[in-house]
Amino acid sequence: MDAKVYDFVVIGAGPGGYVAAIRASQLGLTTAVVEKGSVGGVCLNVGCIPSKSLIHHAKLFSEGKTLLEKCGVKIDLSSFDYGPVWKASRLAADRLSKGVSFLLKKNKVDLIQGTASLSGAGTIEVEGASGATQLKASAILLATGSRPRIIPGFEFDEKKIFSSTGMLMSEKLPKRLFILGAGAIGMEFAFVMNAFGVDVTVAELLPRVLPLEDEEASKIVEKEFRARGVHIYTGAKASNAEMKGDTVIVHLLDASGTPLDVEVDAVLVSVGRSINTEGLGLEALGVRTERGFIVTGDYHETSSAGIYAVGDISTYPQLAHTASKAGEIVAERVAHLLKGTPNPRESTLDRLHNPSAVYCEPQVASFGISEASAKEQQIAHAVARFPYRGNGRAVAEEALEGQVKLVFNPDTGAILGASIVGSGAADIIHELLLASKAELTVGDVAELVHAHPSVSETVMEAAKAALGHAIHI
């Protein structure tokens, strides 16, 4: 078999893979990307994009209903059809997937459909619909992503027991939904389903919802969800789901150990993700892993020279933007080694300045060192807060639940981290992220004039609170 020869081959066309491939081609490398599914990966097709479309429509639906009722309009929802909402989410996903395919072609990246495996140093075997293809490459990037994790007792059938993928592809809403796991995915789906009138129950094994976020932010979100009628069990263990006709009975132990049976029409399992590394041939090439994840060093290179890894399969946070940035770092490094282009500015992703966001309402966003981790690591720190209730724009828009929380060095004013919960948090966080990255202080943020009225003023006021003089409303 004659092999196709490239400078750089990427396995996986998700946010880490396609960004790396395009950047590599821009830097003069002959590049191919191998993808066994749809271009864009989980994020564009069955993750970030379609879910945010559903969240957008759920927010409009909920707020519109509330406003009309407040104005005395009687609303009859008996004819509500979820179908157009679902179709809009698929249209958004399809448009972006086609857009990525266009960008790959425009940037002269070869797209090869099939399943890839590593058969030797610099050699990739691809099994496609039209047969086998062999590729040779000076450098290889693994960006194969992840899939929903299967929990014993809750195996997916995508009819009654759904993965996040299955739920996004479902054109109908259940009347009653049990969500196993109150992380970002679980809480986003809980928001969407509750907004569209589904009776939602959420169970989380850990003591609080959104356990990876700031504890104060988690409490605000939980309070809001409970106020909307979402049933939440924290510190609870679900053992299995039992089918009885069209009903699913979830057997649950609550925080006190009391057994509960929750009857629903469907279950959504959102308890972590499993990485896609099976069949890649990592062991034979000596690629080091820890707990299944690929360990990387400088420039995200694995223990096998010339093989790199980014995204969900690595030890970095399983976030699309994390994968994309890491992919750029890899592409620039490979171009430097092969073409002599300028050396990349960073050797690895900056973990502290890598934001996370949860897009339910209220939104949650954060970065850096949390108050809890600062205490645990005995880092000198102080905390400042400003509530949304003190912000004119938030009051005017009746988005009162939320706060900005800063963690900073009390001696230098350096911003160590931040957590924002409330309307627009995922956008507002970047002002503090940039300030911290640029080594600005809370004083610099406090002195910046912010437009009034804007929710961004909460950031300024939190910074002023750090200095002891928050005054604005």
Q: What is the CATH number of the domain that holds 309?
A: 3.50.50.60
pLDDT confidence of residue 130: 86
Q: Is residue 73 part of a domain?
A: no
Residues 456 and 371 in one domain: yes
- Residues 20 and 143 both lie in one domain: yes
**Does residue 59 lie in a domain region?**
no
Regions of the chain short of the pLDDT cut 50: none
In the prediction, which pLDDT does 473 show? 54
* 71 inside domain: no
pLDDT at site 472: 60
- What CATH code is carried by the domain that includes residue 442? 3.30.390.30
pLDDT in tens, 7-63: 999 999 999 999 999 999 999 999 999 999 999 999 999 999 999 999 999 999 999
The CA-atom distances, in angstroms, between 427 and each of 359, 364, 375, 420, 424 are: 10, 10, 27, 10, 6
Same domain, 279 and 267: no
Whether the Cβ atoms of residue 402 and residue 219 lie closer than 8 Å to each other? no
Quick check: is 37 in a domain?
yes
Q: How far apart are CA 350 and CA 322, in angstroms?
A: 9
Q: Which of 353, 450, 452, 469 is catalytic?
A: 452
Same domain for 120 and 19: yes
Closest-CA residue to 164 (of 151, 153, 313): 151
Domain-located, residue 62: no
Q: How many domains does the chain have?
A: 3
pLDDT (tens digit per residue) in 193-204: 999 999 999 999
Say how many Å lie between the first and final Cα of the chain, rounded: 71
Active site residue 452: yes
Task: Show the domain range for 394.
Answer: 362-467
The residue behind tokens 């600005």 is 440
pLDDT of residue 125: 97
| Statement to judge: residues 138 and 167 lie in one domain | no
Q: Is 58 within the bounds of a domain?
A: no
- pLDDT (0 to 100) of residue 378: 98
- Do 138 and 12 share a structural domain? yes
Q: Are residues 368 and 460 in the same domain?
A: yes
* One domain, residues 29 and 140: yes
